[in-house]
Amino acid sequence: MAKIWSKQTSVEVPHLDTTSSRMPWIRLTVLLLGTIILLHNYIIDHLTPQHPSRNPTITSPKCPQVDPLYPTSRTKELDDVDDYLRSDSFRNKSIQNLAGAVRIPTQSFDDLGAVGTDPRWEIFFSFADYLEETFPLVHATLQLEKVNTHALLYTWAGTDPSLKPTVLMAHQDVVPVPDSTVESWTHPPFSGHFDGTFIWGRGSSDCKNQLIGILEAVETLIQAGFSPRRTLVLSFGYDEEISGREGALKLSNALAKKYGHHGVALIIDEGAVNIENWGKSWAIPGVAEKGYVDVTVTVRMPGGHSSIPPKHNGIGVASELISLIEANPYEPYLDEENPYLSMLYCGAEHAPEFPKTLKKLLNKRESKLQTCSKKHGKDALAVEAAKEGLGIKYLFTTSVAIDLINGGAKANALPERTTFTVNHRINVGSNSKAIFKHITSLAAQSASKYNLTLTPFNGTELPSSITLRAHDTLLEPAPVTPTSSSQSVTPFEVLSGTTRALYSEDLLVAPGIMTGNTDTRYYWDLSEHIFRYGPGWDREQDGLGNIHTVDERIGVRGHVDGVRWFVGFLRNVDEAEL
């Protein structure tokens, strides 16, 4: 008997002998009609492209969640570690450790001179001494190399040299505290004050908490007798807040010489923290970073006495161009590689409060029937997602901010040279060439209107001109860390499993993206697997703890959980075959 299958059921069709007089013609007709109907339904259900209205949900899983991951290698000492990290004894010690680190004002200033020449660098000697006093087992067990005087490179050699090492990162420096803001702080910015819940001060959440937490985890593991198979490297720069050229760049060069291209299994640096959204808890480790470029615009126009002004002088033209730039922002766009697209799929699959409109647009994208596609100039899904707020919008939109302006020398003299700087954070899927093209087209409008020569990005500055110049800090968007692979275990899965084991199986892990840049900008060649993640999570703390502003602070509960996470992660990654 042959079987013909529909989506709903199957019908057995007997072999037909049309020459037999025992088979009534009416039975033959009914069977043939039934067969035609079943074939028609099969074609509709399986072979015909579906309109979105017939396919209201995403059918293939886009956001699988791994099981919680616990270390399998155990000893009594290691089994006791988590109880110790939950104890009041460790909590009090950890408060002292981090508060003491905050009290050392390791500020990095934009105008710092050369290392060894500018005395403002010398505070980092004090910080290194503090770490040595505070973590004696780390300094007795790990090899410490000081790179370019103040960068700290610790190596805990593993027993299996065939395994690629793990690199944990953080930076020693903090953004300066302007004198004019000191009185605005609830507690002095370098006091390390503990109020029973938070440790206050510059660097408490950016990111001495991560640096101290890593060292506390390693100190604890050494005390428990842990001996790694996989080499562990701790890489601590000291000028991340001013682009990392003296610290992270030199550290990455040292690591590249030692381990080679993609010679590191994975890298974890500071980054995104856990959040609550769409009715669920999320860990969103950053697997990508937007690019970066500053463009300085210079308007040169004739000077003269201000008592005989032209209709528009250089400051006026510059102001008009600024308004034009702000009036022509970049459109939201979700490239297929943008991690936020993955998070949207995660929300659609797992989050009870995920917006219905976004789910509908995701299905349109999935079925390739998006009505407002990129070729029409807008990405409908990105435009809708951007409505969730600026913090979301700029995860998938190139940002433009005019941050600096200067012009004129005297109140009675017309400005001859006016400059302003435009900061861009480049979206995944875009590049610096697109930025240069966009701002050049806008500057051309002003140049044409006021009969000025336009000299874009060629290093030439002429009288009566508008000149565009890109700074040498230009950075293209980072390579996106893979979150899936054909191999049995991936670094992302180890990170995800560790996180769900610590917090809850109900917590979702999804790829995240950084709008800012970290020291990992110099580490791209060392590993494909780079994560920007702050694992400590305190629900009493709002966001990132006021980083870069007044009243920076960190919740102690979150900080201690970060230490617990690093202990679990280091044990898990040591057992993983990566």
Rounded Cα distance, 507 and 531, in Å = 18
Cβ neighbours around 188 below 10 Å, total:
15
Token digits of residue 30: 């009914």
Q: Which of 216, 219, 239, 240 is catalytic?
A: 240
- The pLDDT score that the predictor gives to residue 251 is 98
Instruction: Give yes or no for a cis peptide into 207 (omega within 30° of 0).
Output: yes
* CATH fit for domain 76-277+515-575, picks 1.20.970.10, 3.40.630.10, 3.40.50.1100, 3.20.20.140: 3.40.630.10
The rounded distance, in Å, linking the Cα atoms of 152 and 134 is 15
Q: How confident is the model at residue 368 (pLDDT cuts 50, 70, 90)?
A: low
Res 540 pLDDT > 90: no
Helices (H) and strands (E) in the chain, counts: 16, 20
Contact 238, 246 (CB under 8 A): yes
Among candidates 480, 567, 462, which has minimal Cα distance to 527? 480
241 is in an annotated binding site: yes
Helix (H, G, I), strand (E, B) or coil at 63: coil
Spans of all domains in the chain: 2-48, 76-277+515-575, 290-470
pTM over 0.75: yes
542 annotated ligand-binding residue: no
> What distances in angstroms separate CA 266 from CA 78, 226, 482, 495, one per listed residue?
24, 20, 11, 10
Q: List, in order, residues 6 or more apart from 188 with CB less than 8 Å away.
A: 182, 201
Any catalytic annotation for residue 240? yes
Coil/strand/helix, residue 284: coil
- 15 among annotated binding-site residues: no
Confidence of residue 44 (pLDDT cuts 50, 70, 90): very low
As a whole number, the mean pLDDT across the chain is 89
What is the mean pLDDT of the segment spanning 321-343?
97
171 among the known binding-site residues?
yes
Instruction: Fold for 290-470, please state it.
Output: Alpha-Beta Plaits (3.30.70)
Q: What is the pLDDT of residues 494-537, one digit of tens each?
A: 999 999 999 999 999 999 999 889 999 999 999 999 999 999 98
Q: Was 17 annotated as part of a binding site?
A: no
**Tokens 């065939």 -> residue:** 162
Only one residue has tokens 């565009």, namely 468
What confidence score (pLDDT) does residue 45 get? 42
Q: Name the band, by pLDDT with cuts 50, 70 and 90, for residue 60.
A: low
pLDDT tens for each residue of 113-163? 999 999 999 999 999 999 999 999 999 999 999 999 999 999 999 999 999
Q: How far is Cα 569 from Cα 51, in angstroms, rounded to an integer?
A: 45
- How far is 424 from 297, CA to CA, in rounded Å? 13
Confidence of residue 486 (pLDDT cuts 50, 70, 90): low
Angle at 135 between CA 134 and CA 138, to 5 degrees: 165
Confidence category of residue 235, pLDDT binned at 50, 70, 90: very high
